[in-house]
Chains A and B, each alone.
Chain A
Amino acid sequence: MLDPQSLPAPALARHDVGRRRFLGYVIGGTTLMAAVDLGLLADPARADIPTLPQPAELYDLNDLLTHAAMPTANLITVTMNEDGTASFALPRAEVGQGITTSTAMIIAEELDLPVDKVHVTLAPARPELLFNQLTGGSNTTISTYTPIRVAAAIAKKQLLEAAAILLGSTVGSLVAKAGVIEAPDGSTATYGELATKAASPTTKKVSVTLKADAEFAVVGTPQNRVDALAAVTGTKEYTTDLQVADALPTMVCRAPTLNGTPLAVRNKADVLALPGVTDVVMIDTGVAVRAETFGQCIDGVRALDVRWLDGPAAGQSDADALAHMKKAELPMPALPKNPLARTVSADFTFWFRSNSAMDTNSAVADVRPDGATIWAGLKSPVIAQQAIAEELGLPQDKVTVNVVQSGGSFGRRLFFDAAMEAAKISKAMGKPVKLMWHRADDARAGRAHPLCTSRVRASLLGNEVLAFHQSHTSVETDYRHGLGELITANLAALPTNLGNLGFAETIFVLTQEVPYNFGVVLQTLAETDQRFNTGSMRNIYSPDVRCANELMVDMLAKEVGKDPYAFRRKLLRNNRVRAVLDKVAEVGQWGRSMPAGTAQGIAIHKEYKGASACLVEIDARPETVNREVRDAVTGPRVTKVTFAIDVGLAINPRGLEAQMQGCINDGIALALTSSLHLRDGHFMEASWDNYFYTRQWNTPPEVEVIVMPSTSEEPGGAGEAGVAATFAAVACAYARATGTVPKEFPINHHQISFEEKTRIPPVPESPVDGLDHTY
């Protein structure tokens, strides 16, 4: 069989008349394999509105991520199996966002096969895909929709041709349905029977036309997740569930200051003598303990006596980090000179936040002298493979990097911190390891959304907004994963941080826009300070930027005596945004009478080739704010959320609704309850009883998500699209309920409601009183 990776790059063929035709391949072999270049592209994005567009309107981050794939010449393959199923290895990471389900739907649609007959797995690192194996920016479906359809359509065409011969009919007279092809005389052949007959002995080029949208029977219909059964029966496997021979549980003892490093272990022999402990080694990030059980790793980590070198933020607290960052704030650009204009201004601070997922950083590593195998949840497996090979001194092709489904990401798995650490530990111990970060490690030393400020100035003349300026300043957001491979990762890692800043500014410009007619609109970004472990957190800059500018929109509306909804409606420049705004106002009954201390808030967002709007109701009355829940923060309660989302073409409305429900809880957490506190060189938060992500007692009892009818033939991004509008709407509602515009987020940041857990040892002991708390 021809190696699909050695094929030349196929040309994209299009005819001027009729529906577009696409080229792909049938790969030579004994069973049917249809392939297409993943770089096969839909039309480049065009702006919806030609007037005074900001860059993100013309060419956004998704265009960058999609176009990054263009030069690659490598194939993704749909394989037809003799049992009648189709298989596809998706070169992306499933972290809960539902792309294995939506991808199975896309293949099922084009192949005319039931969704449950399509098996989507995650491809291991494929370095030849270069930029094209990065899961980020909610870009998966945007960039893979057309290529995957083409591969499936080619497979279908081959099946029909094979069936025509077998059934003595013509392709045009055959009907394919649910994996069975029927001839006019009633004779049938199943895809399983045809899988080998449709195979081609040699690789050949094939051209196909895709199914018309009007014929869709799967795409656009609500489908349950393909992994739901595994999830509810406990059989869905995450990294720490994998059984790899001799890969014993391993944990790392970390420094009492952020990114501190170990100098010496004073009691290695004592720790090695503890029950179950097999190995203790020092690595650059701490001291690793391998044992028969993770419980014994925790005991070992707690018993270690280590001499530490302080990390770079030693002695620093929130106020120091903020003061350091504010020095990097650029002067605000001058507003237009008009003696009659008045200026409305507001400065906002957004504290550090954690994107810690339920499934902590983890990786299995088996490093041998002549090669290594890694298993982990990885959104940039190619750069992980390259960097780990370099660290181990192995050729890249001797490092196999397997991508495992993850228990959440929220941006965390763009990096491969655990995979690299596990590789170093396995090498140092000379044994396979199953590394798991303790929750305290994940919370304190894991990546975070950086501290930032947003300063907004608007100029009003009469009732018109003449200018709207927003200067966003942030602790550095780490993009050193690049576009998923070493070339751009190295660019991001250039000395003096110029490379990463370039990346940061590019991402900022390509994602941020103010979709209102506000005269001269200017948004800028400055970043500084590399001492913290940061990265893209779900929706990157947008939640903070949007929260600041939607609060300002409310302030402007108030200034000119207009209703927040009416003011937005009048000044929006985009019809899709206006449509979702109208939808939530109508369904959520904007303007209904509310008791004092409660209020509605409304906000919009535009990103990922889509539009969203959110209307919330908040209860900020003292009896609600001060309600008691054991070991918890309560505070204002969002009582109702109405959310409308337009993603262009919604592949799976049910999955999209789920993503918006999740985003709503993220937005509430960002506004009201969750932040990290830097104190004396380290983050205080060490577990879920310190870090207050939205809980059942804070989640809205009423949530309605409206998926707008498809407005496009192309899908937009779904996984992050709901955070920004929700955060902004909650902030606006809180301001209206209390009469005070909050200037720091989350609003409870300055109320420390917990006792900090131990820094030495760095992880807390597991309790022993669990049987006293049964219910």
Chain B
Amino acid sequence: MPEQTFILNGESVTVEVEDDVRLLWVLRDLLGVTGPKYGCGINVCKACTSHINGRAFNPCSVPVGAVKETDEVTTIEGLPATAAEDQRGEHGLHPMQEAWLERDVAQCGYCQPGQIMAAVAVVNRARREDRAVTDADLDGIRNICRCGTYTRIREAIRAGEQQM
């Protein structure tokens, strides 16, 4: 069986699995990293949103063989470490996670790791474009929340942006 090597939350990991198995299942079923959630398997619900080399992506739609040895995959579990130590909040978390706690966003919580990872990427994208997050950015977030926590998500992104 082929060996797959990539960087996961700052550490190099190697796992034996066929090239075509999507990364989500390598993370969840083989590596036991369960923060990214399954919600559709076809890149529409975005519950598995994580980062690759600092950009948001959906591991349900990436064959593990397409991930290079030098690619840095960050899941919700690794998000706090991506923030500078002085940026982390009272729980030692990434400012966006702290904003989520402050606003008590989660209800059932299932989609929330993906929502937070998407939120961070939306802020970073705006930063790259040298601008602040707009209403259009928020309207464009595709992550579904079936509990309907959208109102607090929007508030938390605005607050998290200030602390990032």
Interface residues of A in 590-623 (CB under 8 A from B): none
Q: A295-B24, A703-B151 are in contact. Are A774 and B55 (CB under 8 A)?
A: yes
B151 touching A766, Cβ below 8 Å: no
Question: Smallest CB-CB separation from A763: which chain B residue?
Answer: B41
A408 touching B25, Cβ below 8 Å: no
Q: A231-B106, A359-B108 are in contact. Are A696 and B138 (CB under 8 A)?
A: yes
14 contacts between A and B (CB under 8 A): A232-B93, A232-B106, A236-B109, A294-B25, A296-B21, A405-B108, A439-B45, A661-B150, A661-B152, A697-B140, A766-B43, A768-B61, A768-B62, A775-B125
Additional 8 contacts, C-beta under 8 A, given A225-B106, A408-B108, A768-B63: A228-B100, A293-B17, A294-B29, A407-B110, A658-B149, A662-B147, A689-B44, A695-B142
Interface residues of B in 65-113 (CB under 8 A from A): 66, 75-77, 80, 91, 93, 97, 100-101, 104-113
B106 touching A293, Cβ below 8 Å: no
Q: Which A residues are in CB contact (< 8 Å) with B106?
A: 225, 227-228, 231-232
A360 within 8 A of B: yes
Q: A234-B76, A294-B29, A357-B146 are in contact. Are A96 and B21 (CB under 8 A)?
A: no
Q: A358-B145, A665-B150 are in contact. Are A658 and B104 (CB under 8 A)?
A: yes
Cα A773 to Cα B108 with chains together (Å): 27
Q: Which A residues are in CB contact (< 8 Å) with B105?
A: 228, 232
Tell me which of A232, A658, A764, A773 contacts B57 (CB under 8 A). A773
B110 touching A234, Cβ below 8 Å: no
B58 touching A773, Cβ below 8 Å: yes
B50, chain A: closest CB distance, angstroms:
10
A699 within 8 A of B: yes
Question: What sequence of 0s and 1s flags, for each residue 356-386 of chain A, a beta carbon within 8 Å of any chain B beta carbon?
Answer: 1111100000000000000000000000000
Q: Which B residues are in CB contact (< 8 Å) with A243?
A: 32
B8 within 8 A of A: no
Cα A98 to Cα B153 with chains together (Å): 17
A438 touching B66, Cβ below 8 Å: no
Q: Which B residues are in CB contact (< 8 Å) with A333?
A: none
Q: A232-B112, A295-B22, A358-B37 are in contact. Are A663 and B148 (CB under 8 A)?
A: yes
Q: Which B residues are in CB contact (< 8 Å) with A410?
A: 146
Tell me which of A276, A356, A358, A689 contacts B110 (CB under 8 A). A358
Q: Which B residues are in CB contact (< 8 Å) with A767?
A: 42-43, 61
B85, chain A: closest CB distance, angstroms:
17
B44 touching A687, Cβ below 8 Å: yes
A770 touching B59, Cβ below 8 Å: yes
Q: Which B residues are in CB contact (< 8 Å) with A35?
A: none
Task: Determine the main DSSP class of A at the interface with B.
Answer: loop
Cα A227 to Cα B138 with chains together (Å): 25
Tell me which of B58, B110, B151 contacts A770 (CB under 8 A). B58
Q: Which B residues are in CB contact (< 8 Å) with A225?
A: 104, 106-107
Tell me which of B20, B66, B91, B139 contacts A229 (CB under 8 A). B91
Interface residues of B in 111-129 (CB under 8 A from A): 111-113, 116, 121-122, 125
B147, chain A: closest CB distance, angstroms:
5
In the complex, the number of residue pairs spanning A and B with C-beta atoms less than 8 Å apart equals: 234
Question: Smallest CB-CB separation from A243: which chain B residue?
Answer: B32
A231 touching B112, Cβ below 8 Å: yes
Q: A238-B110, A358-B45 are in contact. Are A770 and B104 (CB under 8 A)?
A: no
A701 touching B135, Cβ below 8 Å: yes
In the complex, which range does the number of interface residues on chain A fall in?
Answer: 35 or more
Question: What sequence of 0s and 1s flags, for each residue 32-60 of chain B, a beta carbon within 8 Å of any chain A beta carbon?
Answer: 10111111111111010000100111111
Tell me which of A631, A666, A763, A771 contacts B52 (CB under 8 A). A771
B13 within 8 A of A: no
Q: Which B residues are in CB contact (< 8 Å) with A769?
A: 61
A57, chain B: closest CB distance, angstroms:
29
B-side residues, CB < 8 A to A, are: 17-18, 20-26, 28-30, 32, 34-45, 47, 52, 55-63, 66, 75-77, 80, 91, 93, 97, 100-101, 104-113, 116, 121-122, 125, 135, 138-154
Cα A775 to Cα B123 with chains together (Å): 10
Tell me which of B32, B42, B97, B110 contacts A408 (CB under 8 A). B110
B148 touching A775, Cβ below 8 Å: no
- The 5 A-B pairs with the shortest beta carbon distances in the complex, nearest first, are A234-B35, A96-B108, A407-B110, A665-B148, A231-B109
Question: Smallest CB-CB separation from B48: which chain A residue?
Answer: A770
Q: Which B residues are in CB contact (< 8 Å) with A578?
A: none
Counting chain A CB atoms within 10 Å of each CB, the highest count among B25, B125, B147 belongs to B147
A564, chain B: closest CB distance, angstroms:
25
A234 touching B34, Cβ below 8 Å: yes
Question: Smallest CB-CB separation from B43: which chain A residue?
Answer: A767
B104 touching A228, Cβ below 8 Å: yes
B108 touching A770, Cβ below 8 Å: no
Question: Smallest CB-CB separation from B153: which chain A residue?
Answer: A696
Question: What sequence of 0s and 1s flags, for each residue 31-72 of chain A, a beta carbon within 8 Å of any chain B beta carbon?
Answer: 000000000000000000000000000000000000000000
Cα A696 to Cα B59 with chains together (Å): 22
B77 touching A233, Cβ below 8 Å: yes
Cα A665 to Cα B111 with chains together (Å): 16
Tell me which of B25, B109, B121 contacts A230 (CB under 8 A). B109
B107 touching A766, Cβ below 8 Å: no
Q: Which B residues are in CB contact (< 8 Å) with A663?
A: 148
Tell me which of A95, A97, A292, A662 contacts B149 (CB under 8 A). A662
A459 within 8 A of B: no
Cα A701 to Cα B150 with chains together (Å): 9
A406 within 8 A of B: yes
Counting chain A CB atoms within 10 Å of each CB, the highest count among B37, B56, B104, B141 belongs to B104
Q: Which B residues are in CB contact (< 8 Å) with A629?
A: 139-140
Tell me which of A293, A664, A687 contacts B40 (CB under 8 A). A687
Cα A358 to Cα B45 with chains together (Å): 9
B28 touching A294, Cβ below 8 Å: yes
A249 within 8 A of B: yes
Cα A276 to Cα B110 with chains together (Å): 27
A240 within 8 A of B: yes
